[in-house]
Amino acid sequence: MRTKHVNALIALAAVMLLSFSCFCISRMTRISNQLINCRNHILEFKEKMLHLKNKTERNHQELTKALSKMKYEMTQRKNMSINLVEKKMNTLGKNETTSNTFEILKFFFPHLRKVDRIYPDVIIGKEKTGVSFALGISTVNRGNQSYLKQTLNSLVSRMTPSEEKDSVVIVSVSDRNEDYLKSVVGMITKRFKRQLRSGSLEIISIPAFFYPNISHVKESTDDSGKSESKCIKQVLDFCFLMLYAQPKAMYYLQLEDDIIAKKMYFTKITDFVHNITSKNWFYIEFSILGFIGKLFKSQDLPDFVRFFLMFYKDKPIDLLLRDIFQVKMCNPGENPEKCAERNKQIRIRYKPSLFQHVGIQSSFPGIEQYSKKIR
């Protein structure tokens, strides 16, 4: 009997142990599954974190690039913040003062008497003043051909740092085509940043309202093939540029947009001017071609401009420059040789020429010119 009870207890214990084992195994299986799920969740979370990290790194790199680009652009703007001035005539402040040199234009052109201020339509540069030399270049659209970059590179690269500091090159855009103005501004701001920053280079454009109505002028041409209306406009372009440059410097050098300067041209000009014994010279020719390389005292520019404006409809500007001596220096009935001898004392020629004309495509549409030789 006792043996039966013992066997029953053993059997019960065995059943309970088996049940507990099954329970434990079942529990452990669930826990194992939970751990596996948890591990999967952890791996998934880790993968998401890794993806987020990679995305964050990419965003960081892109942000770094963007910040670097912004920093570069800000630096460029800071470097280019040379007090670039773009003035429109209709936006000038009422209290803003402008040069009185343009006022003489109102005497010759009645249509300008209704204009409050006569000033360049656009100015890009520091409006530098108080220098010894102003170099004026009038430029117009020559179609597919442009020599301006070559001309400017020749001029500025052959100046010493001290000469550049004591001078200003003024590029006057005398073309109503806004695309041409934009192309000139784009080229200069890209290629000649340092000169713009230092103030040794400026860009201006002549306002369209400045020009009188010359529609009545016949488009007949002279022997050179130059249009009469284009010659008239060229005289006016030079006059405006001269008046703008007059208050800036002691001397004014007239150039064109299709020339190359000789090496050390500026040093030679400076030395020659400083070594002239006579103080009564009217202008100096550093080139015999046309109106190129003519150096004037700035104080005399208004007199030249007045004379040019009196006869701007009659002759090209290089011929007017010759005529002004006949009017000012030759007395009626005087021996021509005597007058010519007097002109040599005030109309001085430097040899050899310091400027070479390179442009084949003339500023007058449809005309080609081949005068390149330095003489």
What beta strand segments (E) does 293-341 contain? 294-297
User: Does 224 map to a domain?
Assistant: yes
- CATH code of the domain in which 204 resides: 3.90.550.10
30 sits in which H/E element: helix 2-80
296 forms bridges with which residues in the sheet? 252, 283
Is 1 domain-assigned? no
CA distances (Å), origin 353, targets 85, 184, 289: 35, 27, 9
| Other Cβ atoms within 10 Å of 297 Cβ, number | 19
Q: State residue 35's pLDDT score.
A: 76
| 180 inside domain | yes
Residue 323 in domain: yes
What is the rounded distance in angstroms from the CA atom of residue 35 to the CA atom of residue 120?
A: 82
Print pLDDT tens along the chain (375 aa).
667 677 777 777 777 777 777 777 777 777 777 777 777 777 777 777 777 777 777 777 776 676 666 666 555 554 544 444 444 433 344 334 445 789 999 999 999 999 888 999 999 999 999 999 999 999 999 887 889 999 999 999 999 999 999 999 999 999 888 999 999 999 999 999 999 999 999 999 999 999 998 766 655 545 544 568 889 999 999 999 999 999 999 999 999 999 999 999 999 999 999 998 877 888 999 998 889 999 999 999 999 999 999 999 999 999 999 888 888 778 877 777 778 777 777 889 999 999 998 855 444 444 444 444 444
Residue 62 in any domain: the answer is no
Backbone angles phi, psi at 245, to 5 degrees: -80, -25
Asked if residue 270 belongs to a domain, the reply is yes
Residue 335 lies in a domain: yes
Q: Does a structural domain hold residue 59? A: no
Peptide bond just before 352 cis, omega within 30 deg: yes
Q: What total number of domains does the chain contain? A: 1
Q: What is the number of H-type helices and E-type strands within the chain?
A: 11, 10
pLDDT at 216: 63
In our burial notation (b when 16+ CB lie closer than 10 A, e otherwise), range 274-295 reads eeeeeeebbbbbbbbbbbbbbb
Q: What is the pTM of this model?
A: 0.72
Segments forming the whole domain that contains residue 152: 117-357
Specify whether the CB–CB gap between 135 and 100 falls below 8 A.
no
What's the DSSP call for residue 128? -
